[in-house]
Amino acid sequence: MTNLFSAQDVSVRFGGLLALDKLSLDIEEGRIVGLLGPNGSGKTTFFNALTGLCRTSSGQMLLDDQDITGLQPRLVYGRGVTRTFQRSRLCLSLSVFDNVLIGRQNNIDLGLIANLLQRRAFKESVRDNYRRVHGLLDAFSEPLAARIFDPLHTLNMIDRRRIEVCRALIGEPRLLLLDEPSAGMTPDETREFMDDILKVRSQNPKMSIIIIEHEMDLIQRVAERCIVLNYGRKVADGTFDEIVADPWVQEAYLGAS
């Protein structure tokens, strides 16, 4: 199987704190990988470094063997990496349509003069964006797609999480990063949401997904491979069954005695 992404001895330092310590890992094309570890183990820092939101102190990150280390977030996005955040960054006063379309801003001509003068092209752009957004929403939920112009604050938590993923998916990513997507949802909503993720993945079989998650049942269900971090280092790597059988993981992460 072809490697899509590779991190090689990546370190991130915040003053005297070493948040990532020579982290090396590979992500294969079309795989769903669970990224596990205690709070403060470096999981979100890794996402931030990968997407250009924080600087690496050393090491290299490659996407399709092309160096993306230190690129600005918009350039990383342009290479095919998109993400969600643990804390929602949705705009509750805007419509569902607007919130999803924000994820495509790199591909939209925002020039006022051009859009005023080229009305036919502008109308076609609006129709194309509507088709894209509606198609993504419909892939998750037909009732959600019917609410495409409703204000976001009228939606429940699971639909808001779906919107966050749709906003990441509209960029047509090759690598999708999900940071604790089940946060704030009930167990039933989490199971339903994971069904959605698996359905979307089935429609994009070459897309790789990395999921940061504390819900082990969720990881067991969707992840084909698991990587465990602690103090910024990779301490375990394998299938879910291999991970949970690891004595260190049992003691330090799963709470076994």
Q: Which residues contact 197 (CB under 8 A, 6 or more apart)?
A: 165, 178, 181, 209, 222
State residue 6's pLDDT score.
97
State residue 254's pLDDT score.
57
The pLDDT confidence band at residue 257, using thresholds 50, 70 and 90, is very low
State residue 140's pLDDT score.
87
**Residues 111-138: tens digit of each pLDDT:** 555 545 566 665 777 888 899 999 999 9
State residue 216's pLDDT score.
84
**Residues 10-51: tens digit of each pLDDT:** 999 998 899 999 999 999 999 999 999 888 899 999 999 999
**Residues 194-252: tens digit of each pLDDT:** 888 888 888 889 999 999 988 888 899 899 999 999 999 999 999 999 998 888 777 76
State residue 111's pLDDT score.
52
The pLDDT confidence band at residue 66, using thresholds 50, 70 and 90, is very high
State residue 252's pLDDT score.
62
Superfamily of domain 3-252: P-loop containing nucleotide triphosphate hydrolases (3.40.50.300)
pTM for the complete prediction? 0.89
Domain assignments of the chain as residue spans, ordered by start: 3-252
pLDDT higher than threshold 60 for residue 151: yes
